Amino acid sequence: MKTALGDLKVIEYAGMINAPYCAKMLADLGAEVIKIEQPGGDDARRRGPFLADVPGPERSGLFLYVNSNKRGVTLDITTATGREIFRRLIQDADILVEDTRPGTLRALGLGYRDLKKLNPRLIMTSVTPFGQTGPYHKWKGSDLIGWEISGMGYITPRHGGRPDQEPLRLLQTASFITGTTAALGTMNALEAQHRTGRGQQVDCSQMEAVIYLTGDCVAYWPYEHRSVSRTFKTMYGPEHLVHCKDGFVMVHGMEPHHWRGLAEMTGNAHLIDDERYKDPFTRGQNWESLEPPIEAFTRQYTKNELFLMAKEKGIPMGPALTMDEILALEQFKARQFFIEIEHPEAGNLTYPGALCKYSRTPARISRPAPRLGEHNEEVYCGQLGYSKADLVRLYEAGII
């Protein structure tokens, strides 16, 4: 069956998560992705979790997930020969996904203006901490910096925590949302390429990708001159995590029928017409007095019992699940979301599958993440015409 991006050729020159996850999303839709690593390998190979807690370049769960469906080669583009090989790969590519510091590729004669002369159809997706312009554009960044500088630390968790609590971080969320944003930007540029026959540079800033997660929080400053924090009380109340017998559930009572159902289910029908809780704003403002009677009920039941109970009454209530509970969910099993991939060194492991399902052009996971330099011969000899003897010389020179 035909895939959505089956005719697309993508070169990835990137490491860790942001840009590689962008390229993975294209690969899952059928694009042929060649990942270029420095001869020493992507830094993600040295990040855990590691299989059986034993570090190794082919044992990183992070690398194995973010780079499935790709072929992998090694190449040092700081050498003249490396740059020439890079240009040859670009000549036949539709997309280049890269994450180098702004100006790095240009200094090597491989900037977008240089590459589009070789390939006018080329889309160059550049994923960086702060974008290609502005006073921060050459600054280094990280997942932690992207999360905090975009304001997410101070609103996490939403409607919870203490006013004096330190900012919090969700592990690698900034990186994955940036990769997703970059993939969306790339697909938009691809549509323009199909219509015009010309490529362009897609400038994706992690700082800007993550700030979209703040949602309506951004509006409070220009509209009301108020800065939002995790304890900021909005009209959306109650919308809080409460204790239950085996963890937490999120209760939601913004709409009148939701509030009525929640009050009745928890044995608090007498509070429905209480002036303190007459509308979403007052319920949010008076959450401290509303939480104890609600929690007195929820503590008697498990997450699943409350979830099913609320579903029957049409009340939005979500269980806060742990990873082992998520992997065991029948809904994920029924949709075959989690899949198993066999890797020649790491073995058979479980991974999240493609983000969306397509009725005519299904996504696919057809190959494990590449071992370091695994496809050097296949790409350099099979596609570019180098001999095996050439590869030996390139290896001995440290170019691959």
**Cα 128 to Cα 108: distance, rounded to the nearest angstrom:** 18
Domain 9-212+334-396 in CATH: superfamily? Answer: Crotonobetainyl-coa:carnitine coa-transferase; domain 1 (3.40.50.10540)
At 262 the pLDDT is 93
**Cα 126 to Cα 101: distance, rounded to the nearest angstrom:** 9
Query: For the residues of 130-192, what is the DSSP string, one character each?
Result: S-SSSTTTT----HHHHHHHTTGGGGSSTT-S-TTPPP---TTHHHHHHHHHHHHHHHHHHHH
3-state secondary structure of 87: helix
Rounded to 5°, the CA angle 228-234-239 comes to 110
Contact between 391 and 380 (Cβ < 8 Å): yes
At 252 the pLDDT is 82
Q: What is the CA radius of gyration of the chain?
A: 25
What tens digit of pLDDT does each residue of 240-289 get? 889 999 999 998 877 889 999 999 999 999 999 999 998 888 888 888 89
Contact between 211 and 225 (Cβ < 8 Å): no
At 383 the pLDDT is 95
Strand 239-244 relative to strand 247-252: parallel, antiparallel, unpaired?
antiparallel
Q: Which residues of the chain have pLDDT under 50?
A: none
Classify the C-alpha dihedral 198-16-106-69 as positive or negative: negative
At 111 the pLDDT is 98
Considering only CA atoms, which of 80, 93, 119, 109 is closest in space to residue 12? 93
At 213 the pLDDT is 85
Query: For the residues of 297-314, what is the DSSP string, one character each?
Result: HHTTS-HHHHHHHHHHTT
**Cα 251 to Cα 262: distance, rounded to the nearest angstrom:** 8
**Cα 211 to Cα 146: distance, rounded to the nearest angstrom:** 9
At 96 the pLDDT is 98
**Cα 258 to Cα 256: distance, rounded to the nearest angstrom:** 5
At 132 the pLDDT is 97
CATH number of 239-320: 3.30.1540.10
Domain residue spans of the chain: 9-212+334-396, 239-320
Buried residues in 132-159 as b, exposed as e (16+ CB within 10 A) = beeeebeeebebebbbbbbbbbbbbebb
Q: Which residues contact 128 (CB under 8 A, 6 or more apart)?
A: 99, 100, 101, 102, 137, 141, 204, 205, 206
- Between the alpha carbon of residue 129 and those of residues 11, 43, 65, 106, 165, the distances in Å are 20, 17, 22, 18, 26
3-state secondary structure of 41: coil
- Tell me the pTM: 0.92
